[in-house]
């Protein structure tokens, strides 16, 4: 069973800490069995990616007060081929003046604040569990002490992110980087809709025993190779813009086996959506034309962002991406 705590973190939280720490892999001594990692693309690769850019993901136009803003279901992992928005997504970006992200991963001050709340006491992991974390660091080609300062949950989440590289998915190509870069290059504002502290509080259990169970679950999925399969399937659904597949995540991920799992998934998705919707509405009310890019799972379920925006008086229209 792949824990929802891993996939929800990957696709619903900004994961600024993991995205930054993944770059530590470049500092490790590389061996032939190490997974590929994102590299600075050549001019030829950039030209090819731009020439072949096509629309991916999920896009809605939301209209109120005579102005349109946009919701975009994004993904926190990617490929170089996904680094350029297609025509329709690019047109929506061009029509706006503000890009709103869960967290602006291009802001060093935001990343510096990605620390567990003081009430999240790190569990004292048993030596065997610490050794399992170490072996996953070895597999990711990261020095074992590189993640030692992180809460154990964040260590396990970061290693889960890095494992996706073996499936050709790299956090270095996450849509947050792509869209934030596009916004800054065009002189647009980039806004964080959440605080780093809120994201860490949502991700890391308050109870130390629950946190230790989460670490063990994540390691089990990594060791069995099941986490990678779930990430690949979810990334494929995002690339196709398959909202039904993403919305049925709980049905195919084999990830909700207990009340604790169910509560964690709710906390990471549904419970955060009203505040995200409030933030988007507040920006729109100020006269901003907003392109809000948020993890695709936020677009699903009874508290979906498109539904919440409609409740706030917006006309909501799903735009078919080709």
* Helical (H) or strand (E) element with 290: strand 290-295
Q: Is 169 helix (H, G, I), strand (E, B) or coil?
A: coil
Output the average pLDDT for the chain: 87
Give residue-wise pLDDT tens across range 31-72. 447 888 777 788 898 888 888 899 999 999 999 999 999 999
Lowest-pLDDT range of 175-179, 242-246, 311-315:
175-179
Give residue-wise pLDDT tens across range 254-292. 777 788 888 888 888 899 999 999 999 999 999 999 999
Answer whether 163's CB lies under 8 Å from 228's CB: yes
- On the question of pLDDT at 196 being above 80, the answer is yes
What would the DSSP string read from start to end of 267-284?
Answer: HHTGGGHHHHHHHHHHHH
What phi and psi values does residue 61 have, to the nearest 5 degrees? -100, 130
Give the pLDDT of residue 45.
Answer: 86
Which of 32-36, 102-106, 301-305 tops mean pLDDT? 301-305
CB atoms within 10 A of CB 128: 7
Give the pLDDT of residue 266.
Answer: 87
Average pLDDT of the segment spanning 199-216? 92
Give the pLDDT of residue 219.
Answer: 94
Give the pLDDT of residue 194.
Answer: 95
pTM given for the model: 0.87
Rounded to the nearest 10°, the torsion over CA 20, 25, 27, 32 is -160
């Amino acid at each position: 069973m792949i824990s929802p705590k891993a996939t929800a973190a990957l696709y619903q939280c900004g994961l600024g800490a993991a995205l930054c720490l993944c770059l530590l892999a470049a500092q490790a001594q590389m061996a032939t069995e190490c997974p590929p990692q994102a590299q600075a693309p050549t001019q030829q690769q950039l030209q090819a990616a731009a020439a072949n850019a096509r629309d991916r993901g999920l896009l809605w136009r939301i209209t109120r007060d005579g102005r349109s803003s946009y919701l975009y279901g994004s993904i926190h992992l990617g490929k170089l081929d996904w680094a350029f928005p297609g025509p329709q997504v690019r047109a929506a970006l061009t029509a706006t003046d503000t890009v709103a992200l869960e967290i602006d991963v291009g802001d060093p001050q935001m990343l510096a604040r990605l620390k567990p709340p003081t009430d999240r006491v790190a569990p004292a992991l048993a030596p065997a569990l610490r050794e399992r974390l170490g072996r996953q660091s070895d597999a990711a080609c990261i020095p074992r002490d590189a993640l030692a300062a992180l809460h154990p949950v964040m260590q396990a989440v970061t290693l889960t992110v890095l494992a996706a590289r073996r499936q050709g998915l790299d956090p270095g190509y996450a849509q947050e980087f792509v869209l934030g870069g596009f916004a800054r290059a065009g002189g647009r504002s980039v806004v964080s809709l959440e605080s780093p502290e809120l994201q860490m509080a949502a991700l890391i259990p308050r109870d130390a025993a629950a946190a230790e169970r989460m670490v063990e679950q994540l390691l089990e999925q990594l060791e069995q190779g099941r986490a990678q399969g779930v990430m690949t399937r979810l990334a494929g659904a995002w690339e196709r813009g398959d909202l039904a597949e993403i919305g049925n995540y709980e049905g195919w991920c084999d990830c909700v086996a207990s009340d604790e799992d169910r509560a964690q998934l709710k906390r990471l998705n549904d419970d955060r959506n009203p505040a995200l919707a409030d933030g988007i509405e507040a920006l729109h009310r100020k006269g901003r034309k907003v392109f809000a890019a948020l993890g695709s799972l936020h677009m699903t379920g009874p508290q979906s962002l498109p539904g919440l925006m409609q409740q706030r008086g917006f006309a909501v229209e799903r735009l078919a991406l080709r």
